[in-house]
Structure 1
Amino acid sequence: MDFHTHSTASDGELTPLALLERACERNIECFAITDHDTVAGYLSVREASQAMALTLISGVEFSCQWSGVTVHIVGLNMDVEHPAMRQGLDRLMQARLDRGAKIASRLHKLGFPAALEGAVAEAGSSQLGRPHFASWMLQQAHVATISEAFDKYLGQGKPGDVKAFWPELAEVTAWIVAAGGTAVIAHPLKYKLTRSKLRRLVADFKMAGGSAVELINGRQTADQTAVLRRLAQECDLAISAGSDFHRDTVYGADLGVELRVPEGLKSVWQDFADSSGRRVSSQR
């Protein structure tokens, strides 16, 4: 299974179809494409997936704010045509454009004009994001590598790190729940919150209708998994799991997660069914 992946519809390297084909090659039985703030990738392969040997679940990864921190919430198995979901997706698309304009304005002040036009051209039909600004900077020889673009200009705490345009956690969680989906806190340890602040995040998330947390996200240590297992147990959260696959890298995880549900915990996938009615076994 794998309930956290990205395609070229956002910042992944593989097209949605290539991503599905690789999932089949890896014998993944249940799968979600969770592109950033868009379901375009999922929609482009929803019909084709019916002829494949896997169950495709609708998915998205929403960007939001909580207590001054940018947090990601994964939505799974929701009705992508629901009015709340459509309105939310439209709002995030505009937020990304507004954020892109702000990033471009900051880069212009640093001596890099026309960044917005360049990044939009790099993005094409994908959701506009910082990787597209990085690609444009590389193409224009403003930087020698993508890593340099993030290290100097676009990474956390740098001029291009613009957060203020994201909606609140409670809003995006409510969109997912209204559309009949399951809201999941993505990679909770990446936010580097204290134990007490993480539990406050979970409390606010649950109050908004959220119900699950990623027990596995990409490559992580056994200690990290143990921390998240305790969090799920103590806070009565269901568990999800995903590779957070974007592209083939030395350090990144490949598609697919093998996980036996720990005793006393519930998985998000035990009640999933795809658009053809195929159900996902609670034993996977």
Structure 2
Amino acid sequence: MNSEIDLHCHSTASDGKLPAAELVARAAERGVKTLAITDHDTAEGYRLGQAAAQELGVRLIPGIELSCIWGGVTIHIVGLNFDPESDVMRAAEQAQTEARSSRSQIIAERVGKRLKHDIDLAEVQAYAGGESIGRPHFAQYLIDKGLVPSMAVAFNKYLGAGKPGDVKASWPEMATVVQWIAAAGGIPVMAHAHLYNMTRTKLRACLADFVDAGGRGLEVAYGQMDNNQRGQMAGLAREFELLGSCGSDFHGPNRFGLDLGVMPPFPADVTPVWQSWA
């Protein structure tokens, strides 16, 4: 279905394909009335989209998607309706930027040492554009420098699992990012929990810790989530007394037909996160 509320999408401030203003315009065209741009580890999408939202009559909610660790698993926590100019949120964004930067430097050093080639991070950043540097950007750099013949070889020899460039980001613990969002006056929401490949027991333990840290919401209507996943998330929201959130996780035009506002119907027996917003 097409929802009038979409609280999970991405702009070019992280890994989306559309600038924030274009994303807001597309939302307006598609009948989305309340939107949160939740770029990875930055609230810049919200800042850059405000003028377009005011002009087009879209209610733009401050949003961010923060990476963190719980039990050795990378978890994403969406922050909604916080103060993007608060000291705590600005500090959180800086901390996440430094975590990403540190990872890129380690990859460059390890892969460069193996290849006996000094990797220029500024050149790798050019492949990433406005996005954070990822391993595919390193791979393209290696190809263009003639150091490997293909993307497959780049990953098989240097960047894939267990290879020198397989470096995990030093993300903070889940409780830390939950507390950042809460301290900035926002609502911490666990994103796409059905995609973490955890057993039900482990996911329930994760949610228990999330709630203990101050977590308040769970995505219960998400992109191309199927009915079974939707039912599981709705049941967990009720069990842990969490507010429900919804979002497409739209990154840009794609061949799968996913667009802004596209998601399953919101479960009728879950309290929506936006109910208390003025």
Per-residue CA deviation, residues 83-124 of structure 1 (Å, 9 max, x unaligned), is: 111111111111110011122223324537416332222334
Segment drifting more, 11-20 vs 105-114: 105-114
* Cα separation, 1, equivalents of 2:72 and 2:23: 34
1:266 corresponds to which of 255, 263, 271: 271
* Cα separation, 2, equivalents of 1:29 and 1:113: 49
Alignment match, 2:121: 116
Q: Does 1:254 align with 2:259?
A: yes
Segment drifting more, 75-84 vs 250-259: 250-259
Alignment match, 1:240: 245
Q: Does 1:52 align with 2:60?
A: no
Per-residue CA deviation, residues 209-240 of structure 1 (Å, 9 max, x unaligned), is: 11111112221211111111111111111111
* Identity percentage of aligned residues: 47
Q: Does 1:81 align with 2:101?
A: no
**Runs (5+) with no aligned partner, structure 1:** 274-284
Alignment match, 1:91: 95
**Runs (5+) with no aligned partner, structure 2:** none
**Following superposition of structure 1 onto structure 2, how do residues 148-167 of structure 1 map, counting pairs within 5 Å?**
159-167=164-172
Query: Post-superposition shift, 1:13?
Result: 1.0
Distance 1:151 1:39, change over 3 A: farther
Computed over aligned residues only, the root mean square deviation of the Cα atoms, in angstroms, reads: 2.5
* Cα separation, 2, equivalents of 1:187 and 1:204: 16
Q: Does 1:25 align with 2:25?
A: no
* Secondary structure, counterpart of 1:63 in structure 2: strand
Segment drifting more, 69-78 vs 106-115: 106-115
Judge conservation of contact 1:218–1:252 (CA < 8 Å) in 2. Answer: no
Distance 1:142 1:15, change over 3 A: farther
TM-score, normalisation: structure 1: 0.86
* Cα separation, 1, equivalents of 2:28 and 2:51: 15
Alignment match, 2:66: 62
Per-residue CA deviation, residues 221-263 of structure 1 (Å, 9 max, x unaligned), is: 1111111111111111111111111122223621114565434
* Cα separation, 2, equivalents of 1:146 and 1:19: 30
* Cα separation, 2, equivalents of 1:14 and 1:143: 31
Aligned length: 273
Judge conservation of contact 2:79–2:188 (CA < 8 Å) in 1. Answer: yes
1:191 corresponds to which of 160, 176, 196: 196
1:228 corresponds to which of 215, 233, 250: 233
* Cα separation, 2, equivalents of 1:7 and 1:145: 29
Segment drifting more, 125-134 vs 43-52: 125-134
Distance 1:18 1:222, change over 3 A: same
1:2 corresponds to which of 1, 6, 15: 6
Distance 1:202 1:241, change over 3 A: same
| Aligned-partner residue type, residue 236 of structure 2 | L
Alignment match, 2:183: 178
* Cα separation, 2, equivalents of 1:222 and 1:197: 21
* Secondary structure, counterpart of 2:6 in structure 1: coil
Judge conservation of contact 1:2–1:242 (CA < 8 Å) in 2. Answer: yes
* Secondary structure, counterpart of 1:255 in structure 2: coil
* Secondary structure, counterpart of 1:47 in structure 2: helix
